[in-house]
Amino acid sequence: MPADTNSTILGLLLQGTGNNDNTWGQLLNEQVIQLIEDAIAGRSAISTTGGNTALTAAQERSAILDVSGTLGSNATLTVENVSKTWIINNGCTLAGFTLGVKTSGGSALTIPAGNWKIWCNGSDVVAFALPTALSAVGAVTPATDTLPYYTSASAAAVTSFTAFARTILDDANAAAVLSTLGLVIGTNVQAFDSDLSTLAANITAFGHSLVDDANAAAGRTTLGVVIGTDVAAQADTRFTAHTRQRLTSGSGATYTTPANCRMIRVRMIGGGGGGPLVRRTTALLVKRRHLNRGPRSPVLVV
């Protein structure tokens, strides 16, 4: 009868025909079915502090390799030069050192921290190639409040992505965005008005210079009517109306002009002596230089 052998990759038991009478079932379970399960979903824990670690057949057969330890030097895991895939979890405290996986005659593949899928192609250990787009994003260094973006068909970078920007991106519609920005139409800003647009399009440069004045004083300056410089103030007594006074001619009565008076108006009405009123009036403006000057103020003598 042919002797039992083992498969070259997973080391599964290959029983010779007629061998292992009464024990073949146990051997099948332990050295075939169990090993296949390990190769599909088994996990092996590997501890290292640096240097080279040659994996055992059982460790190599496992689908997942959990590597841990605080490195004091670069660490390398050596596997047999046979076709096999692994998911390797680099949970080491690297402390500036590296973890690599290689065949006995190949070059080490550096495994960054985290979970990675690798395989041995029969001569070297290599990483599964990711699509170019994913590789580009995976190459950037993440940071707080940043967002990756592509700079070309094969490269990526990161840009700022603030908390405020995220409050806009999570809005469900345009109305929500306007509310976030404080631009609610009718509440924060005025709705479009065609009349206002027409006004803005036709207002002159001088009009602009007037409507941007901060107060009435600035507006008077723009208009060239500064009180006290370009026009007189309303309170100027030179233009204040005073009380009328009736004087009879020949009586010697006097009219004392108010202070600061520059001009008086005299109306002369004919008649008198009980006779009929002569229908003629004469309006006379008597300037200050024609007024008699008393000791205190100018007077008009009738």
Average pLDDT, the chain: 83
Token pair 């009718």 in the structure block, residue = 186
For 192, list phi and psi in degrees, rounded to 5.
-60, 135
Whether the pLDDT of residue 300 is over 60: the answer is no
Percent of the chain with pLDDT over 90: 54
Whether the pLDDT of residue 272 is over 60: the answer is no
**CB-based contact 282:275 (threshold 8 Å):** no
The Cα–Cα gap between 127 and 52 comes to: 20
Whether the pLDDT of residue 3 is over 90: the answer is yes
The Cα–Cα gap between 234 and 228 comes to: 10
Residue 287's pLDDT band (cuts 50, 70, 90):
very low
Mean pLDDT computed over 139-151: 92
**pLDDT tens digits, one per residue of 200-210:** 788 888 888 88
**pLDDT tens digits, one per residue of 176-187:** 999 999 999 989
Token pair 């404080």 in the structure block, residue = 182
Mean pLDDT computed over 23-38: 94
Percent of the chain with pLDDT over 70: 78
CB half-sphere exposure, 72, CA atoms < 13 A: 3
pLDDT of residue 138: 81
Q: Which two tokens stand for residue 23?
A: 């024990």
